[in-house]
Amino acid sequence: MLDRTRTLWEKQDGAVGDRRPLYTAVAEAVEAATVLYPGSYVDLAPSWSWPSVTYVDVDRRANQFFSDLDGVRALLAERESGAANHEVRFVHADYQEPLALPDEAFDLVISLYAGFVSEHCTRYLRVGGHLLVNSSHGDAAMASIDDRYRLAGVIEARNQRFRVVTDDLDRFLVPKRPVEITRASLHQSGRGVAYTRSPFAYLFERVA
Ligand SMILES: C[S@@+](CC[C@H](N)C(=O)[O-])C[C@H]1O[C@@H](n2cnc3c(N)ncnc32)[C@H](O)[C@@H]1O
């Protein structure tokens, strides 16, 4: 493994904390085999939960990281030997441009802190598949006004423990102040909407 592969992973893991409990909770809640992660940087943690993950990022260091496939496999094996056999693909590209990936090929799309992934990458998600999205860059709000989605659950976090809640979902995505949420307003602010409740993330199902 190249030194920089481990260094990049340790920095990522240290910065965001262990994401495996998050992805484990999602993997238990929705059936998925193929995952697309636009704006992944070097967040490798989904590959411990799913057998096939396609990572997408424009960043040069992310490209270097995933180019060291032996190193990536070694990192996966360190925490779970079986994960080293999982399919790990990387696309070095701007997800806002058409990607060389088939439409509706993925069961799950991950959108965390990486802009309006849902706007550009829903085409790759199969109908019936799910979007895991947080609100920080406004993408949860973007999904909430997208007719192709319905809210299927929220992910609540406490002390690094994650649980998927699927009942009384009307409690969520309620703005603190009455505001009209449109694609234009979200693009203009580039931020999430302030909601009365702030779960860690949301799960939307693609319905159309
Ligand atoms: C703040 S990091 C978040 C990384 C990871 N999702 C996480 O939660 O740790 C945002 C990443 O999204 C990538 N990104 C932002 N816009 C992008 C785009 N249009 N196409 C591809 N990658 C993008 C950046 O290069 C960066 O690596």
CATH superfamily assigned to domain 3-206: Vaccinia Virus protein VP39 (3.40.50.150)
Q: What's residue 191's pLDDT? A: 86
Q: CB of 136 closer than 6 A to ligand 1?
A: no
In this predicted structure, the answer to whether residue 126 has a pLDDT above a threshold of 90 is yes
Q: Which phi and psi angles does 110 have, rounded to 5°?
A: -105, 130
**In the chain, domain spans:** 3-206
Indicate which residue's Cα is closest to atom 3 of ligand 1.
Answer: 113
Let me know: does 86 contact 92? Beta carbons within 8 Å. Answer: no
Q: CB of 124 closer than 6 A to ligand 1?
A: no
Q: pLDDT digits over 7-62, tens only?
A: 999 999 999 999 999 999 999 999 999 999 999 999 999 999 999 999 999 999 99
CA 114 / ligand 1 centre spacing (Å)? 4
Quote the tokens at residue 48. 């411990």
Q: CB of 40 closer than 6 A to ligand 1?
A: yes
Q: What percent of the chain has pLDDT over 70?
A: 100
Residue 81 neighbours by CB distance under 10 Å:
9
Please report the atom of ligand 1 found closest to the CA of residue 96. 19
Average pLDDT of the residues in 151-155: 98
Please report the atom of ligand 1 found closest to the CA of residue 39. 12
Alpha carbons 161 and 16: distance in angstroms, whole number: 14
* pLDDT tier, 117 (very low <50, low <70, confident <90, very high otherwise): very high
Q: CB of 46 closer than 6 A to ligand 1?
A: no
Q: How do beta strands 149-158 and 201-206 pair?
A: antiparallel
Indicate which residue's Cα is closest to atom 27 of ligand 1.
Answer: 41
Indicate which residue's Cα is closest to atom 5 of ligand 1.
Answer: 40
Quote the tokens at residue 171. 């409690």
